[in-house]
Amino acid sequence: MAVSDVRGGRRKSDHMDLLKETVTSTSMSAIKNRIRLSSDELKALDLLRFNHGANPFPGDESVANAFRLGIDYYRNCVERVKFTGAQKVLDLGCGFGRWSPFLGEVNARVVALDRSQDGIRLGSNLCQDLGFDNIEFSAADVSALKNFKTEEYDLVWMWSFLQYVDRGFVLDQVGRILKPGGRFFVGNYGSAGLMVQHLIQGIKKSGTINDPLADWAKKALLNGDVGPGNPNYGTVERCEELCAFYGLKLIRAAPQGLIDLRNENGLSGTGSARKVYDHLDIAIEFVGEKPRDWALRDRRQTTVSEKNRSPVFFSKACDWGIRQFKSLYRKMNPDKT
């Protein structure tokens, strides 16, 4: 590759120096200075401005002022799960790139992928405006992962994403594209508690057991999925089993916001999405690792669907949800019990 290659207005050689500096710098604050906005300015940032006034996710008010949680919230999340100092990071299902700048300021390179063209345009405009030249946005369906090189990434970040896709396919691909010892993070992952919440909300809202939301949640609790296909929500207790199923190693699973890998002895997170229905959290998070012997995993695991292979995978959570459902049903229909 010629040294005179130019990327984003910066000569490739300069770019490499910058990457090197990013990776080797011991001063986090020096790296963070690459974002030019202050916390207050970022908080006030109206993202719709970057999308010609149109909301790429109609109905999602969070886009209008996406950073209202404040710069420290994002930085703290990235740092507490130790997603820093890597060469190449994938922000999978990046949406409008909410996490990409915060991954980009503490890692050398970020690839951000989402199937939403508008989301990608918005994220790309935002990161350009912030002065990042190490973040590459790609509008593609997650199935494009199969074309990614094997063992190319150090870290894969998935925030509020895995529950919307075929997690078997995604976790298998994540295992393939991660370098040995590379880590992945699943944040804000829907838990069985979310299904119970939907169930209760649906019944309360419509006053009937035949409410569409309640019916959907009931099916999800019974089947372990929210649509046709593989199970796509989880519980803290089952994360180890889930990771092992795809040949991956669980490092830590906890209710959302509680993993802090900087402080192995304490869980000092914010618990942002914590709301508990009995023992089931609304959202959970987990960090895992690609073991060095990933290639030796049992290949049969990937050819038999998770649900068929492990029919009792979610049984504990489901049983509890169904008990809740039945008790609500009995309360609402005393004559039928």
Ligand X SMILES: C[S@@+](CC[C@H](N)C(=O)[O-])C[C@H]1O[C@@H](n2cnc3c(N)ncnc32)[C@H](O)[C@@H]1O
The binding site for ligand X (CB under 6 A) comprises 93-95, 98-99, 114-116, 119, 141-142, 159-161, 164-165
Closest separation in Å from C-beta 232 to ligand X: 11
- Token pair, residue 186, equals 């699943």
Closest separation in Å from C-beta 94 to ligand X: 5
Residue whose CB is nearest to ligand X in the complex, by number: 95
As a whole number of angstroms, the distance between CA 4 and CA 2 comes to 5
For residue 249, report the phi and psi dihedrals to the nearest 5 degrees.
-110, 125
Question: Which DSSP letter does residue 149 get?
Answer: P
Tell me whether residue 112 or residue 178 sits nearer to ligand X (CB atom): 112
Tell me whether residue 165 or residue 253 sits nearer to ligand X (CB atom): 165
Tell me whether residue 269 or residue 318 sits nearer to ligand X (CB atom): 269
Q: Burial code of 99-117, b = ≥16 C-beta within 10 A, e = fewer? A: bbbbbbbbbbbbbbbbebe
Residue 197's identity, in one-letter code, is: Q
Tell me whether residue 99 or residue 286 sits nearer to ligand X (CB atom): 99
Residue 41's identity, in one-letter code, is: E
**Is residue 110 classed as helix, strand or coil in its secondary structure?**
strand
Closest separation in Å from C-beta 50 to ligand X: 14
Q: Which helix (H) or strand (E) holds 298?
A: none
Nearest partner of 153 among 175, 169, 137, 171, judged by Cα? 175
Nearest partner of 293 among 327, 251, 260, 248, judged by Cα? 248
Tell me whether residue 93 or residue 101 sits nearer to ligand X (CB atom): 93
Closest separation in Å from C-beta 207 to ligand X: 29
Q: Which helix (H) or strand (E) holds 176?
A: helix 167-177
Closest separation in Å from C-beta 119 to ligand X: 5
Tell me whether residue 165 or residue 220 sits nearer to ligand X (CB atom): 165
Closest separation in Å from C-beta 184 to ligand X: 14
- Token pair, residue 286, equals 């987990």
Tell me whether residue 170 or residue 248 sits nearer to ligand X (CB atom): 170
**Is residue 289 classed as helix, strand or coil in its secondary structure?**
strand
Closest separation in Å from C-beta 164 to ligand X: 4
